[in-house]
Each structure stands twice: as structure tokens, then as C-alpha cells.
Amino acid sequence: MRRTEQNKGRVFLLTFALAALLLSLIMVGTVLAVQPTMPQNHTDELPAQEPSYRPAASESLTMAIIGKNASGGASDFLLIRFNPQYGQVPLAVLPPETLVPYKGETMTLARAWARGGGNGVKQALSERFGITVDRYAALSRDIFIRIADKTGSVVFEMPYAVSYHSDGYDINIPAGRRRLDGRDVADLFAAPSLEGGPVERAALLGELTAAIVNQNIDSAGKDVSPGLFKFIVNLVDTDLSYVDFELRRDAADFLSQLGDISVAGSLAPAGTLMSDSLSFELSEDYVSTVRKYFGASS
């Protein structure tokens, strides 16, 4: 049965597609360096051959990616960093209820988006974590539908089954190891409810985001990435430029040839969900962890 493409429910799925593609286009080659181990379970080793160049710290880039709902509000937030000199892509999925400072006030990320758009989100996240967020990108479900065919599927271990009814259609995603295409992921994250609260939801989304990134690295090749980059940037609200991509193009091509090495890892949010469930205060330990992987601002 054909499933609806209407704007419904939460749209974190949109950030998945953009993250997978932009990661492939922007992040640079893996090199041997000393850095804390990312919180992910894999035993991949770096290739034995010496890379033809060593990326500099100046090539790092941190982005905030925002999923917009049908009314233009923000549903979910992805903070992601391209760490070329360490061969890592740390990422953090944050609930929209996350409290941040913005223009002398404390408010949720969703409110910061409503007040200041993408630049407001960059400023708020930079101040909360003590890092520099360089760029932002925001997109809606309608735009995702246009780019869904440009990204690959993902194999993911569903911890539980998700079933619901929407617009006359039954949506069923079984538990267990599944291969999810773009529509499957869309249905999953349009679900009216998932197990646990916003923090547990963000942790699951982070794991899925990392899996999508790691399984779609081949989009970074020179023969593919320029066209993908232009296609996406022309569709989304972003301050990312072609210059940002061009400066990292050779490195992105190198990355696409690394094979099965996993570079992305998720930092699951930790903190306190307030009693009204309308706001979430990050723990200082978590803030320190993010700062460690994303680099403290100078």
C-alpha cells in the first residue's frame, strides 16, 4: 500500500539525509592521530598506507542541522563536527526542549530557532557548549522527499517495533536488524510516539544518524559529490557555501576510498528533563564531553 508523503509528525529524518550527504561531501581524510575514542562499538583499523597529505586543524567544520516541521518550527537539532586531523565525526542529537542561552535569556532550542533562525541556533549552541558552530542548514520534509533518492539505505538494529496508523495507512516497522530506505526512516520518525522520553528518542536518533553517515561514505567521491552538493545547497536554507566544499574536495574523495572504516560516533545527550517535560537541562559533564570532541572556542 502506498504511504502518504504529507507533512506529518516529527521530521528529524530530514536531518539524517542532509547529514549523510553533507558529511560525505565535507569531512576530510582519516589520519593517524591521538584523540579520545568515540563512543561507538567497532574494531576497524586505519589503512596501513600513509596518506598523501595530512589535513590541518583549520579544515575542521562544525554544523548545526535543523529539521523543520510543516508550520516552520524546529523539531530536532543535530550538532556535528568534521574533524579531519583526528579522522572522527562526532555528532550530538539534541531534543528541541534543550535549554540554551540566547541574547541574555534562557530558552529552548526550538524557541531560539523561532527567535533567530539558523544564525540564532548557531549562536545559542556556541555559547552553551563553549565551541564555535561554523555553519547551519535547515530543511523541511518536502525538501527531504526531493533528495531521498540521492542517499542510500541504512542497516540498523531496531530496539523495538514501531506501529501506528496515519492518514488511512498502517505503518509497521518490526524490531530487529532491518534495512531501512528513506521512506522507512520517514515513517519511523513521523511516529506520534516512541519508547521513552525526548532524551531516549534523541539517543536513538543519534545512533541512526551515525549509521547513515558511516554507511554512505561513498557519496564523497569526486565523480558524485560536486553534483550532490549543488543539488542540496540549492534546496535548503543554509549558510554553507561552495567554497566550504571546494576547499575540502580532494580530502572528501580520499575519504570515499577508505572502505568500511567507521568515522562517525554519537554522543547521547545527558541531563535533567524538567517535571513539565517542556525543557531539558544538559548536565555539565555532558557539556564538557561535547566540548572535548568539538573543540573549545578560542
User: Is 99 within a domain?
Assistant: yes
User: Is 177 within a domain?
Assistant: no
Other beta carbons less than 10 A from residue 134's beta carbon: 17
Q: Residue 290: which CATH number?
A: 3.40.630.190
What would the mean pLDDT of 45-68 be, rounded to a whole number?
69
The pLDDT-based confidence of 116 (bands split at 50, 70, 90) is very high
Residue 189 has pLDDT above 90, yes or no: no
- Percentage with pLDDT > 70 across the chain: 67
User: Is 159 within a domain?
Assistant: no
Cβ pair 287, 82 in contact under 8 A: no
User: Is 3 within a domain?
Assistant: no
User: Is 155 within a domain?
Assistant: no
Cβ neighbors of 193 (< 8 A, separation 6 or more) are 164
The set of cell numbers assigned to 282 is: 544538559
Query: Distances from the Cα of 286 to the Cαs of 97, 159, 189, in angstroms?
Result: 16, 24, 25
Report CA 31 to chain centroid distance, whole Å. 22
Q: What pTM was estimated for this model as a whole?
A: 0.81
Strands 89-94 and 280-282 come out as unpaired
Cβ pair 37, 167 in contact under 8 A: no
Cβ pair 92, 289 in contact under 8 A: no
**How many domains in the chain?**
1
Q: pLDDT per residue over 125-138, tens digit each?
A: 999 999 999 999 98
The pLDDT-based confidence of 195 (bands split at 50, 70, 90) is confident
Q: Is 19 helix (H, G, I), strand (E, B) or coil?
A: helix
User: Is 289 within a domain?
Assistant: yes
CA distance 220 to 211: 16
Q: pLDDT per residue over 129-183, tens digit each?
A: 999 999 999 887 667 656 655 656 789 999 999 898 877 889 899 999 999 887 7
CA distance 111 to 99: 9
Q: pLDDT per residue over 84-103, tens digit each?
A: 777 778 999 999 999 999 99
Q: Is 290 helix (H, G, I), strand (E, B) or coil?
A: helix
7, burial (CB in 10 Å: exposed 0-12, middle 13-18, buried 19+): middle
Q: Is 123 helix (H, G, I), strand (E, B) or coil?
A: helix
Beta strands in the chain (DSSP E): 61-68, 74-82, 89-94, 99-102, 105-108, 135-139, 154-158, 162-166, 169-173, 176-180, 237-238, 264-266, 271-273, 280-282
Note the helical H segments in 77-140: 109-129
User: Is 7 within a domain?
Assistant: no
The pLDDT of residue 88: 79
The pLDDT-based confidence of 109 (bands split at 50, 70, 90) is very high
Q: Helices 12-26 and 198-215 sit at what angle, rounded to 10 degrees? A: 40
The pLDDT-based confidence of 255 (bands split at 50, 70, 90) is low
User: Is 241 within a domain?
Assistant: yes
CA distance 205 to 16: 9
* Structural domain harbouring 81: 12-150+198-294
Q: Which of 223, 5, 241 is nearest to 136 (CA)?
A: 241
Least confident of 19-33, 74-88, 268-282: 19-33
Cβ pair 213, 199 in contact under 8 A: no
Residue 124 has pLDDT above 90, yes or no: yes
Q: Is 102 helix (H, G, I), strand (E, B) or coil?
A: strand
